[in-house]
Structure 1
Amino acid sequence: MKTVNGYEVIQWFEQFSPKKYAVEGDKIGLQIGTLNKAIKKVMVTLDVLEHVVDEAIDNKIDLIIAHHPPIFKALATVTDSSPAGKIVTKCIKNDIAVYVAHTNLDVTNEGVNDLLADALKLNDTEVLVPTYEEGLRKLSVFVPESHEDEVRNALGNAGAGHIGHYSHCTFTIKGAGRFLPLEGTDPFIGEKGQLEKVAEVKVETIYPVSLEKKVLNALIKTHPYEEIAYDIFMLQNEGEKLGLGRVGKLAKSMTLAEFAEYTKVCLDVRNVRVVGDVNSSIKKVAVLGGDGNKYIHAAKYSGADVYVTGDLYFHTAHDAMALGLNVVDPGHYAEKIMKQGVADKLQATAERKKWQLDVIVSKTNTDPFTFM
């Protein structure tokens, strides 16, 4: 097992939940402390309140990974006379770093909204509100026939050639490559000063822009030539769409009243608020963690029978009624599902990478509401 630096932990995390997925203006990233230190214990939490920091101190935590930012507006001062100041000063005094992944964690695959959809056991899920589309590029590379399979497999293993539910998709054309090695070269095939003709294939594949470095590194590592001939083309093809919320289908229909009880069990909440006819049939479900008031029209246009989201406003509920859209509001705190989901993913990564790292889930209840 090896000691891991904070930058290594967050480098992995930002591959899982890239900052570019966050909505404009969101307050994400490192908010308190430093990552330039050894990290032995990480705590995952929904919110960073003072009693959450106390829990971190008691557990000798080095790094808190949170969903909701403790600092959302600029602080005029940082003293222990304000709630935000107490959080900051306690973290600094106890060398606890705080890193925030907010809407980028909502958007990313296996993030908050996928965890909610999985908890509700939704099938055939799609993005509710697209906010980010991954650009695509095509790679064409000329390879000697002797190394065709090795290069194609390496590109596929690096993530190139994924089309829908297919991987390692490539196309090859046979041909002949010609080159004249000059002074200072060390050709894999041929001799300096002699024109060489080699049986080659052109391998073509596509990849998302975010994987370009990984794909090209795989190409360079496996291609036998010291000078590799390849072309990269920007594509107009639609890439993977990511965004807020998910839409999917239940295994079987149920009434809205039954679905409300089902939601309470699946999302581990005591109460839900319901808008709509409790006897209406529910099959297709839209879900969006946190405050989803802005997206009731998207939920309606998706064809969903019900929209599961938090913090529903009074007038938004009226708008949903007018649209004929059922709504189940389990509260904003339903996003607590991210704590175990992120912790499990990070712990599995630590074990795979042989990091000396313990990951715990905050046990502090940060729901501000008590139902009487």
Structure 2
Amino acid sequence: MFANGQTVIQLIEQLAPKHIAMENDKIGLQLGTLQKVISKALVALDVTDEVVDEAIALGAELIIAHHAIIYRPLAKLDTSTPAGKLYEKLIKNDIAVYIAHTNLDVADGGINDWMADMLGLPAEGRSSLEDVHTDKLYKLVVFVPKSHHEQVLQALWNAGAGDIGGYSQCSFNIEGIGTFLPGNSAQPFIGEQGKLERVQEIRIETIVPSSVHRKVVQAMLKAHPYEEVAYDLYPVDLKGRVFGLGRVGKLPASMKLRELAEKAKEAFEVPALRVVGDLDRDVRKVAVLGGSGSRYVSRAIFAGADVLVTGDIDYHTAHDAAMAGLSIIDPGHNIEKLMKPRVADWLRRELQQRKYATEAISSQVETEPFHFL
């Protein structure tokens, strides 16, 4: 059985939730419909004519890309323009386009973490270069008959409740007496219509992040035996999980800037890269940022990084960084292509786990616009 488009995207949004994207980022469904069966989903960095041709040849009904094809509202759709021809080709071949951009950058286990992994930065001790989203926290309180206490508690935890900092499965539980009087239309799990009932119940309190609060409530209601469940959900001041752009971490040991540049060149599979700074300088604290990083040089300096690995550094920003003592390795914007096999592999595993026959395929088209001579 093939998955439909909505199911495929629900899985992608587990990896890269939309709510953690930067404000006004162009993400989500940009063209076509998800209300159809998907036999093949193609994962690409950019949506170019060549990528669309690849999707057509494969028989893919969906392209999941990192870079948007529509950046601003369209005043008209002129199919004589290059962009218009691209949209026309997609529409005529019934290929939908879905974009995961800064939400995939920011996500735990997303592009910036993949970059850090490839450069050898240990996961422990990593921090974000810039915080962009903090999950609001809610406290969930629910009253459960003693016989179903563990069942409901496990359902809450499995759905994502109970995480506080580095701790999981956090809850507070206290016994008491619950009372209720079933009416004539009620079908009580415990008790009888028209008779006041007193039940040994346990009050469960736990923390729920806003990103999963609907999922947690649904799981709780499904696991709870009562026809009408008594529960409260209210916001708390406790700071939730922070999602950020870029990563900063320390190499296991210092190395020369020249060595790190060579390592980046090999890891990101680029024929050349640009380096700012003394090649024989020792570096250890490294900041990484996929895409264009000129605006984040000051952030890297503030974080105490020795070197920033990012793309699209302009001439004057390079001078400013050098004067401030920050080295830069610029392997180009296109290194974000590393997302193609990783997103495809992740999606393939999730689909197979759910017994779907839908294929997730990594695009083989090279979309680097520059030639290196």
Residue 201 to residue 271, structure 1, CA distance change in 2 (3 Å): same
Whether 2:26 is the aligned partner of 1:27: answer yes
Deviation of 1:187 after TM superposition, in Å, equals 2.7
- 1:308 paired residue number: 309
CA shift digits 1:107-161 (9 cap, x unpaired): 2222211221222221222221111111100111122222211111111111100
Partner of 2:325: 324
Offset, 1:74: 4.3
**Cα offset, 1:39, TM superposition:** 1.2
TM-score (norm 1): 0.94
CA deviation string 1:158-198 (max 9, x = no partner): 11001233322111112222333333333333333333332
Aligned to 1:287: 288
SS at 1:139's partner residue?
strand
Identity %: 52
Counterpart of 2:86 in structure 1 is 87
Shift of 1:80: 4.8
Report the Cα distance in structure 2 between the residues aligned to 1:50 and 1:194, rounded to whole angstroms: 71
- Note closer, same or farther for the CA distance 1:38–1:256 as it changes in structure 2 (3 Å cut): same
- The aligned counterpart of 2:10 is 11
CA contact (8 A) 2:40 2:360 kept: yes
Structure 2 match to 1:181: 182
**Matched-pair contact (CA < 8 Å) for 1:77–1:85:** no
For 1:89 and 1:230, locate their aligned partners in 2 and report how far apart those are by CA, in whole Å.
51
Query: Which has the larger displacement, 69-78 or 292-301?
Result: 69-78
SS at match of 1:65: strand
Structure 1 residues 43 and 225: CA distance shift in structure 2, 3 A: same
- Other-structure match for 1:63: 62
Instruction: Give TM-score scaled by structure 2 length.
Output: 0.94
Q: Which range moved further: 272-281 or 258-267?
A: 272-281
CA distance, structure 1, for counterparts of residue 263 and residue 299 of structure 2: 23
CA–CA distance in 1 between the matches of 2:315 and 2:141? Answer: 56
Alpha carbon RMSD of aligned pairs, Å? 1.7
Shift of 1:207: 1.1
Q: Deviations over 1:237-276 (max 9, x none)?
A: 1111112111122222211111111111222222221112
User: How many angstroms does 1:318 deviate by?
Assistant: 1.3
Q: Following TM superposition, by how much is the alpha carbon of 1:4 offset from its aligned partner in structure 2, in angstroms? A: 2.0
Aligned equivalents of 2:79, 2:221: Cα separation in 1: 54
Aligned runs of 1:29-48 on 2, under 5 Å?
29-48=28-47
Partner Cα distance (1:60, 1:192) in 2: 59
Helix, strand or coil at the partner of 2:309: strand
The letter for the 2-side match of 1:50 is: D
Cα contact 1:272–1:331 (8 A) shared by 2:
yes
User: Contact 2:164–2:240 (CA<8 Å) still a contact in 1?
Assistant: no
Map of 2:260 onto structure 1: 259
Give CA-to-partner distance per residue, 1:282-341, whole Å, 9 cap, x none: 222111100011111111111222111100011111111122111111100110011111
Which moved further from structure 2: 117-126 or 252-261? 117-126
Q: 1:192 to 1:75 in 2, by over 3 A?
A: closer
Distance 1:48 1:321 in 2: 35
**2-side partners of 1:206 and 1:109: how far apart?**
20
Q: Could you say what secondary structure the match of 1:289 adopts? A: strand
- Once residues 229 and 32 of structure 1 are traced to their aligned partners in structure 2, the CA distance between those partners, rounded to angstroms, is 43
8 Å contact kept, 1:157–1:168: no
CA distance in 2, matches of 1:279, 1:301: 23
- The residue identity in structure 2 corresponding to 1:153 is Q
- Who is 1:343 aligned against? 344
2:32·2:97 contact (CA, 8 Å) conserved in 1? yes
Amino acid at match of 1:264: K
Single out whichever of 316-325 and 287-296 deviates more from structure 2.
316-325
Does 1:275 find its partner at 2:276? yes
What number of residue pairs does the alignment pair up? 371
In structure 2, what is the equivalent of residue 132 of structure 1?
Answer: 133
C-alpha separation between the residues in 1 aligned to 2:213 and 2:107? 19
Distance 1:264 1:340 in 2: 18
Instruction: Output the CA distance in 1 between the equivalents of 2:32 and 2:218.
Output: 34
Match of 1:353 in 2: 354
The match for 1:104 is 103
Q: Which residue of 2 aligns with 1:116?
A: 115
CA offsets per residue over residues 213-232 of structure 1, 9 Å max, x none? Answer: 11111211222222222222
The farther-off stretch of 8-17 and 196-205 is 8-17
Gaps of 5+ in 2: none
| Contact 2:175–2:201 under 8 Å retained in 1 | yes
1:76 Cα deviation (Å)? Answer: 4.9
Consecutive unaligned residues of structure 1, counting only runs of 5 or more, are none
Alignment of 1:162-241 (within 5 A): 162-241=163-242
CA distance in 1, matches of 2:74, 2:210: 37
